[in-house]
Amino acid sequence: MERFFKLSENNTTARTEMVAGVTTFLTMVYIIVVNPAILTSAGVPFDQVFMATVISAVVGTLYMAIFANYPIAIAPGMGMNAYFASVVATEGLSYQAVFGAVFLAGVIFILLSLTNLRETMIYAIPDSLKYGITSGIGLFIAFVGLRNAGIVVPNEANIVGLGDLGNPVVLLTIAGLFMTLVLFVRKIKGALFIGMVATGILAFITGQISFSEGLISAPPSPVFWDIDIAGVFSNGLYTIVFAFLLVTIFDTTGTMIGVAEQAGFMKNGNLPRAKQALLADATASTVGSAFGTTPTTAYIESTTGVAAGGRTGLTTIVVAVLFALSIFFTPIIQVVANMPAITSPVLIIVGCFMIEGLAKVNWKAFDEAFPAFAVVLTMPFTSSIATGIAIGFISYPLLKVANGKGKDVHWIMYVFAVLFLLQMVFFPVH
């Protein structure tokens, strides 16, 4: 263990790594409840999503531990799951076809991770669009949380309106949200998980949930290859594939750099073993889609494990083991996932985390600000991350050319702008 993970070289001990692993797990374990809660709304069976969530987390996290030796955990990402559900609902597609899009995005991500093209894409796309995309997804999933809980409801006069605040689910959601927010401002580790537990206890006391099926059981059987790759081509889901790929690349790369900087892994601006780390996420996304879940990403919650002293892959080994053990608690997780008041506060708070990048947008430079604004505005109002990305990629080079700064735009952006324009005109995603 010492020689494999190089504990002494990284100034850590096995005990410290294990504590860090438990800390990281507690801060991100909410995903095994929230992910099934979102994807079941798209018709994916609960047991399938639950097992796929755990499998992809275990595969990606173990890969990260063994081949990259970093304390960075992998699991299905927030935002992409809500986008998946919205695509299935608005396009009238089968979830199998959309899983096909996720699978192809994962395969492309693996290929990009083996080349320098990934770095070229990241360099070519301006920071303002990256911040706009992440922030737009944040608003999107926060809106999903508000809608699922009934805090906002359809309204004929102005599209959406305030829900019935006397509804027991709405009241429980608000109570859970405030309890979790208090835990956060008090800097309690695992605040999201603890907040869900507290909300669940309150739901049990008030009779809104019950555990008639017991607390533990044998794990469900995983479902493999319930996907339709041919449906990607027959339905022209190329923009969907690109949206999954693009967001995963940005999200994973940004998170890995953030965690690596906190842990002191960065060397002259570069991340050692970056290729192995990116392959962990790409592999997990591909495997996860084959079992029935959306793209994975590196989790920013890994910073809590780093803060607890985690410096090697032993931290993520512990995370993977704990995820694997969670499969025996299916009855509890299924009950919790079916109560939106328990999961919605997580969506709302994570949405808040994701819009912090807006502070880095140069709002005084209109040709930088408006494309970011357009992305943020479009994603929640159209319930489409792909549409938001397309609007941003079209408007950015257009405004730069109009402002006499066309030479400052990377040629890849012009290619994307033309492709997105053609797609929106001839193959629109509604």
Q: Which residues contact 148 (CB under 8 A, 6 or more apart)?
A: 37, 41, 340, 343, 344, 347
- Of 420, 43, 429, the residue nearest 237 (C-alpha): 429
Asked if residues 363 and 227 have their Cβ atoms less than 8 Å apart, the reply is: no
Contacts of 217 (CB under 8 A, 6+ apart): 328, 330, 331
In order of 57, 219, 290, 326, the CA distances from 50 in angstroms are 11, 10, 13, 10
| Ramachandran category for residue 43: left, alpha or beta (phi over 0 → left; psi -120 to 50 → alpha) | left
- CA atoms of 250 and 246, how far apart (whole Å): 6
Q: From the centroid of its chain, how far is CA 420?
A: 23
Under a CB-based contact definition with an 8 Å cutoff, are residues 227 and 99 in contact?
yes
- The DSSP H or E segment spanning 141 is helix 127-149
Which H or E element spans position 342? helix 340-354
User: Which is nearest to 53 in space by CA: 69, 38, 71?
Assistant: 38
Give 279-337 pLDDT, tens digit per residue. Answer: 998 999 999 999 999 999 888 788 878 877 888 999 999 999 999 999 998 888 888 88
Give the residue among 144, 46, 49 at the shortest CA–CA distance from 347: 144
The per-residue pLDDT for range 162-216, each reduced to its tens digit, is 888 889 999 999 999 999 999 989 988 778 888 888 998 999 998 888 887 777 8
d(C-alpha 396, C-alpha 378), whole Å: 14
3-state class of 286 per DSSP? helix
Write b or e for each residue in 235-245: b if 16 or more Cβ atoms lie within 10 A of its Cβ, otherwise e. Answer: bebbbbbbbbb
- Tokens 């796929």 found at: 52
Q: Which residue has the tokens 């931290």?
A: 315
Average pLDDT over residues 211-240: 87
Which tokens is 422 given? 């053609």
Domain residues for 164? Answer: 2-353+361-426
What integer pLDDT is reported at residue 71 of this predicted model?
Answer: 92
Mean pLDDT of the residues in the chain:
86
Q: What would the two tokens of residue 359 be? A: 């502070």
Radius of gyration of the chain (CA): 21
Q: Where are the alpha helices (DSSP H) in 1-126?
A: 2-5, 14-28, 31-39, 46-63, 80-91, 95-113, 117-124
Helix, strand, coil shares of the chain as percentages rounded to 5? Answer: 70, 5, 25
pLDDT class of 429 with cuts at 50, 70, 90: low
C-alpha to C-alpha distance for 147 and 295, rounded to whole angstroms = 23
Nearest partner of 296 among 118, 106, 142, 100, judged by Cα: 106
How much is the pLDDT for 132?
87
Q: Each residue of 14-45: pLDDT tens digit?
A: 888 998 888 888 878 889 988 998 999 899 99
pLDDT at 378 over 70: yes
Number of domains, the chain? 1
In the block, residue with structure tokens 């499998």: 55
Tens digit of each residue's pLDDT (9 = 90 or more) over 62-108: 999 999 999 999 999 887 888 888 888 777 889 999 999 999 999 99
Neighbours of 388 (CB within 10 A): 28
- pLDDT score at 428: 60
**Alpha helices (runs of H) in 224-339, residue ranges in sequence order:** 229-234, 238-263, 274-291, 302-307, 313-325, 330-337
Q: Answer yes or no: are the C-beta atoms of 57 and 31 closer than 8 Å.
A: yes
Residue 430 pLDDT more than 70? no
| Cα 289 from Cα 366, distance rounded (Å) | 39
How many angstroms separate the Cα of 36 from the Cα of each of 42, 346, 423?
10, 13, 31
Which pLDDT score, from 0 to 100, does residue 176 have? Answer: 93
Coil, helix or strand at residue 30:
coil
Tokens of 327: 């499969």
Name residue, tokens 């993970």.
5
Residues in the chain: 430
Rounded to two decimals, the pTM is 0.79
Q: By mean pLDDT, which of 128-132, 255-259, 266-270, 394-398 is the weakest? A: 266-270
Instruction: Give residue 50's Cα distance to chain centre.
Output: 15
